[in-house]
Structures are given as structure tokens and as C-alpha cells.
Amino acid sequence: MVGTVFKVSLRARPGTEAGDMIDEAAVAQEYQARLEADLAEAQATVKRLDEEHAEIGVQLREEPGEQGRAERRRVAAEREEARSRVQSAQTGLTLLRLQGSPFGLIAEDEGVLGMIAVTVPKGTSTAQREKIIAEDLVEQLTSAARSLGVVLGASADRYTRERRGRDSAGRTVLDVLGRIEGDLLVPAVSQSRKPAHR
């Protein structure tokens, strides 16, 4: 069952490479193939890491040691990241099916998932970049949180994880992930990873 969908409008910023108009039909066509490829890649990664995690477990039973346990923790963390990417790709495909666009948020019992695209001009500082993302996302993210009976626990940009590359309109594309903790919606992305500026 799909939760409540919140559409995130694509607002191009005048004077940037994305221009002033967005062809949403072309965007949908572009992202159908991209998301399907992302999903297949992430699923293959999960499968590989599942096997690697199991192999390390066998080795640890035969020869326990801190080095092996550390390696198993590393593989487990990478697997969780890959599983998150599977979930994000599936969410984008679900949004495409429901509304003809991969951009938006889905509010479910455990939290909020989605994807947005923002125009970040070249040479933008980190602080200004975070402000641009927060401004484009905050209204819909706040509404999604409210629909779940919670409030935001951080700035809107903290709920995002940048995807590789830019789309054909030159926009930065980001996954949106939040989970419920008590009466707060908190970021469900690793904040140790720095944005990949391009």
C-alpha cells in the first residue's frame, strides 16, 4: 500500500543552465530508464554484500578475531546503504507510476521517502547550496511530516542524499529520506558523507 504522495514542483532558477521551463514528460522518460538501472545495480550490490557478509560469518566461526568482526561491520554498513538505494529507486518508480513524475515525497507509517531535483548554479557555496535545497523541499517535507503527526527534527536539506551526476537539464538530483523517532521526523541519511559537488 502506498502512503500519501506530496508532489514537489520543479522550479528552475532564472539565469541558470536549467532554464525557465521544465518538460516533465521528457523528465519522466529520462528517469524511467535511469531508475530501473539504479534499481538493478543496487539489488546486485545487496546480493553481493549478502554473500560476502555470510562468508565472513563462516570465517569468524572458524577463526574469531577483531579484524574479521570489523570487516563484517563494514560490509553490513555498505549493505544497508545499498538497501537504502534499492528503496529510493523503487520509490522514484512508484512516483512515476502514480503521478507521471519521479519527483515528490511519499509519507508512510515509518517515515518519508522521495526524490527532488534542484538547480544549483556553478560556483555556489556549500552554505548557499544547502539553502537552495532547503527552500525547494521544506514546504512539502513539512506537510509530509504533519500528515504523519510529527514535526521536522532538522533543516530540510539534512534529509537529502545526492545522486551521481546531473539530469539532462543540469539539475542536481537528491534522494529524500526521513524516519520517525518519537514525535520527530529525523534524517535517515548518513551525514558523514559529503555532498558530491559537480
41-86 pLDDT, tens digit per residue, is 999 999 999 999 999 999 999 888 999 999 999 999 999 989 988 9
| C-alpha torsion angle, residues 164, 167, 172, 176 (rounded to 10) | -70
Please write the tens of the pLDDT for every residue from 139-178.
999 999 999 999 999 999 999 999 887 877 788 999 999 9
Look at the chain and count its residues. Answer: 198
CA dihedral 136, 88, 170, 120 (to 10 degrees): 40
Q: What is the C-alpha separation between 39 and 190, in angstroms, rounded?
A: 20
What is the pLDDT confidence band of residue 110, given thresholds at 50, 70 and 90? confident
Q: Is the pTM of this model over 0.85?
A: no
Burial status of residue 68 (CB atoms within 10 A of its CB: 0-12, 13-18, 19 or more): middle
Q: Which runs of consecutive H residues, i.e. helices, occur in 100-125?
A: none
More confident site: 181 or 169: 181
